[in-house]
Amino acid sequence: MNLTESDLAEIDAARGQSATTRRATVPALEAMLFTPVPVLDHGFVRVIDYMGDDAAVVQAARVSYGRGTRKVSEDEGLIRYLMRHRHSTPFEMCEIKFHVKLPIFVARQWIRHRTANVNEYSGRYSVMDREFYIPAPEHLAAQSASNRQGRGEVLEGAEAESVLALLREDAERNYAHYEAMLNEGGADPDRRGLARELARMNLTLNAYTQWYWKTDLHNLFNFMSLRGDAHAQYEIRVYADAMLAMTRAWVPASCRAFEDYRLGAAQFSATMLAVLRRMLGGEVVEQAASGLSKREWSEMMAMLE
């Protein structure tokens, strides 16, 4: 994470500002506000703004002045109930805005979450940064033999060295050519400079971009559930993990309910439930007689371990 002096000064200035508000305020998140948390080699996530807290979820679920709505339970009980029964709209009443620096190939996965607001740094308008993601040696994984979209063991020795060298050299060479084609400031008086919107196509997919990304708590949970999952690519999972830590500070009760009922939960199909009932009845069930495919069987066994 390479921030310039002026970037750091801007962050300090933002952190130094202070105002009085009647709005719901969360001191634990205020403490984190604006500070970038490093992710990968040059990326980061930082919270820029937020709206609401755990109480806002409860307040929206009840709607104020509601005659007939007595406080049947503690707030956390209501939050857990809402999460368990998929009443998602109260969680939509909280909103958060992040500033994220991330490799382009990660951005391409991330943007698939459509219920969010995004402003990305524009390579048509501005010059892209000279920063690329190069995996740490321990994340330089071989193709998985069993899972077409997964990773196997870590590459080692000469192959690892050669891969890292190729990634680094290609990214740097392509960036140098990008700069040459741009000819910003007329460095080479014999060139007119290629349009930025064209030159950027020479960059590699591990080049870093950045954006403002804003979403509501329900859709943030969806994001963290899908991208924090073991099947997600490591390079996006680390962003989901960093955001989970921030979400815990922001809405602790909602986040506990999310971790219990969704992140740590498991879904059993109708067929799996039938197997489960036989097992709980004391029967020894084998895959062949379970009605499940081998793959489903092993997925079910994994859920029970």
Output the smallest distance, CB 141 to a second copy, in A.
5
Are 301 and 293 contacting, i.e. CB atoms less than 8 angstroms apart?
Answer: no
Q: Does 77 bind a second copy (CB under 8 A)?
A: yes
Q: Does 149 bind a second copy (CB under 8 A)?
A: yes
Closest to 80 (Cα-Cα) out of 249, 220, 260, 221:
260
| Number of residues located near a second copy, criterion CB under 8 A | 145
**1, 38, 144, 161: residue in contact with a second copy (rule CB under 8 A):** 144
**45, 79, 182, 251: residue in contact with a second copy (rule CB under 8 A):** 182
Annotated binding-site residue? 89 = yes
Bridge partners of 273, per DSSP, are: none
Bridge partners of 120, per DSSP, are: 211
Using alpha carbons, list the distances in angstroms from residue 269 to 155, 196, 258.
37, 51, 21
Annotated binding-site residue? 217 = yes
Are 231 and 150 contacting, i.e. CB atoms less than 8 angstroms apart?
Answer: yes
Residue tagged active-site, from 227, 248, 278, 295: 227
For residues 203 and 104, give the distance between their C-alpha atoms in angstroms, rounded to a whole number. Answer: 10
Q: Which is nearer to a second copy, 243 or 257 (CB)?
A: 257
Annotated binding-site residue? 130 = no
Q: Which is nearer to a second copy, 77 or 252 (CB)?
A: 77
3-state secondary structure (DSSP) of residue 74: coil
For residues 96 and 48, give the distance between their C-alpha atoms in angstroms, rounded to a whole number. Answer: 8
Could you tell me the two tokens for 145? 């033999």
Q: Does 265 bind a second copy (CB under 8 A)?
A: yes
Q: Convert residues 7-46 into a mask of x (bound to a second copy by CB under 8 A) and - (unbound).
A: x--x---xx-xxxxxxxxx----x--xx------------
**158, 230, 284, 288: residue in contact with a second copy (rule CB under 8 A):** 158
CA atoms within 13 A on the CB side of 29: 26
**12, 177, 294, 302: residue in contact with a second copy (rule CB under 8 A):** 177
Annotated binding-site residue? 219 = no
Q: Cite the active site residues.
A: 227
